[in-house]
Amino acid sequence: MTVGQPLEASAISLLQPIHSSAQDVADLLGAPNQVVELGNKSAWLYEAQKERRAGVFLLVFSTFGQDKQFDRCWVFFDENGLLTHIASSLESNTAEYNLISID
């Protein structure tokens, strides 16, 4: 299951603090999942989630596995709408199918 659009490292790498505007960010990454107002500054959160599940259920034995990973990117803007900071963690592509034993 995937929630949100996976974030692309190549798109994030095009963003340049002090040079990129809020419109540049929106053009590259789309609409943010969340906007936080910080006085006259703001922060936008981009987030995507990938979850993989696998399970086997037999009469005497059952096993189930779940791995949920996220892409997150915070972008921060000054009072003029210019990008000041970027923080990202792109882990959604590392979600794996796995099984654990339930005794």
**pLDDT value, residue 89:** 85
**pLDDT value, residue 96:** 52
CB under 8 Å to 37, separation ≥6 — which residues? none
Count, residues in the chain: 103
In angstroms, the CA 24 to CA 44 distance is 13
Chain mean pLDDT for the chain? 79
In angstroms, the CA 1 to CA 52 distance is 6
Q: Which fold has domain 2-51+71-94?
A: Beta-lactamase Inhibitory Protein; Chain:B, domain 1 (3.30.1450)
Q: What is the pLDDT of residues 2-46, one digit of tens each?
A: 456 778 889 999 999 999 999 999 999 999 999 999 999 999 999
**pLDDT value, residue 10:** 92
Which tops the pLDDT comparison, 9 or 96? 9
Please state the domain extents for the chain: 2-51+71-94
Model-level pTM? 0.69
